[in-house]
Amino acid sequence: MKFKTFLSCVFILSLTFAFGQDKKALIRQIDNLIHLKQPRPFNGVVLLTKNGKILYEKTQGFKNTDSKKPLEPDNQFEIMSNTKQITAVLLLKEVEKGKVDLQSPIKKYLPDLTQLWADSVTVHQLLNHTHGIVDTGKPLVFKPGTDYKYGNLSNNLLGRIIENVSQKTYRELAESLFQSLKMKNTFCYSENKKSRLVSGHELEKQVFKVVNRTFISEYNLPADGVITTAKDLATWNAKLHQGKILQSKTYKLMTASSVLSQHDVFGEEKMGYGYGIRIVEDKGITYFGHTGLGDGFASLNIYVPGKDISIIVLENVMADSSDLYYYFEKGIKDLVIHNFAN
């Protein structure tokens, strides 16, 4: 028994040493990546966590390129479409209360909709973008449930459903949830609440230009309106994926692939999409992820359930070429996933 115990200790120590070496190599690779100036510079925050502990945390660049104030780890960013995951959770919490049936037509919860399609599009189809709505005043572009078309409109409608059944505003419900999760630096966008919100930037021929406008409004808060920090997003991932927010049954609905879609950050092939979340398989690893873009911001939030890893990249810059929007986000994701797949 003593010899077996000794061998076990040696094995564990060898794994720990190997992981330590891999960690150093990963840190070096990410450092090298974000220090590149071509094809564009990186300006943002990177946070990697494993089992609740920080593996890597780095800030590079400025809060505002005019003032030249450097970024800090607790700075707040607009996460744009990563908001959709939060909206999905708020809707599913109403499902858990028995106030919403995912398979019911949206007309049941939005009685003011006069379009005929309101009687056929379901809440489920809003959540996974298989509804076919491109404009509330126009016909559907496909029969509900037969295709996938991503957009913000579905989440705006989901926000209205949440408000109608709860008799509370989206802002009230979201910020109450953030408070309960101790996400102290997370809130819904407001012109009067920008304490540590950094400026967004557009990059034109390697020149940063501060974005002084926003397309976030009260109406589209459920699609794009959450402001947060990298550490708060890591807290969100831990709470959501470890059963601290949703019941097991509704969490499984959220993270189950119900349609296939393609996104360049996650590969050339179509991958699964659930409710405000992508389900991706890469190098034998399954992970959940989503991106966000707009107002001079880009974001990536990934969680690897089998390894309890969060990969969070928040940038306050948008490139002038669409193939460079998520250049660093994808590169960092690939480095981490490939490192832990080996």
For the segment 200-241, what is each residue's pLDDT rounded down to a tens digit? 999 999 999 999 999 999 999 999 999 999 999 999 999 999
Backbone phi and psi for residue 292, each to the nearest 5 degrees, phi listed first: -150, 145
Residue among 233, 258, 236 at smallest CA distance from 246: 236
| Mean pLDDT estimate for the chain | 93
For Cα atoms 137, 143, 145, give the angle at the middle one, nearest 5 degrees: 115
Q: Tell me whether residue 123 is in a domain.
A: yes
Instruction: Check pLDDT > 80 for residue 20.
Output: no
Answer whether 220's CB lies under 8 Å from 152's CB.
Answer: yes
More confident residue, 273 or 16: 273
* Side-chain half-sphere exposure of 276, counting CA atoms within 13 A: 28
State in Å, rounded, how far the first CA of the chain is from the last one: 31
Q: Is residue 246 part of a domain?
A: yes
Domain contains 3: no
> Is residue 9 domain-resident?
no
What residue numbers bound the domain in which 309 lies?
43-341
Q: Domain of 314: which CATH number?
A: 3.40.710.10
Give me the residue label for tokens 């109406």. Answer: 219
Residue with tokens 């990969």, as numbered in its chain: 311
Containing H/E element for 248? helix 248-254
- Enumerate the β-bridge partners of residue 311: 48, 302
- Kindly state whether residue 14 falls inside one of the protein's structural domains: no
What is the DSSP secondary structure assignment for residue 4, as one 8-state letter? H
Judge whether 87 lies within some domain: yes
In the chain, the number of structural domains is 1
Helix, strand or coil for residue 282? strand
pLDDT tops 60 at residue 1: no
> Going by C-beta distance under 8 Å and a sequence separation of 6 or more, which residues neighbour residue 13?
none
Residue 2 falls inside a structural domain: no
Band of the pLDDT at 194, cuts 50, 70, 90?
confident
Q: What does the pLDDT look like over 103-152, one tens digit per residue?
A: 999 999 999 999 999 999 999 999 999 999 999 999 999 999 999 999 99
Edge-to-edge strand list for the sheet holding 77-78: 77-78, 226-228, 187-188
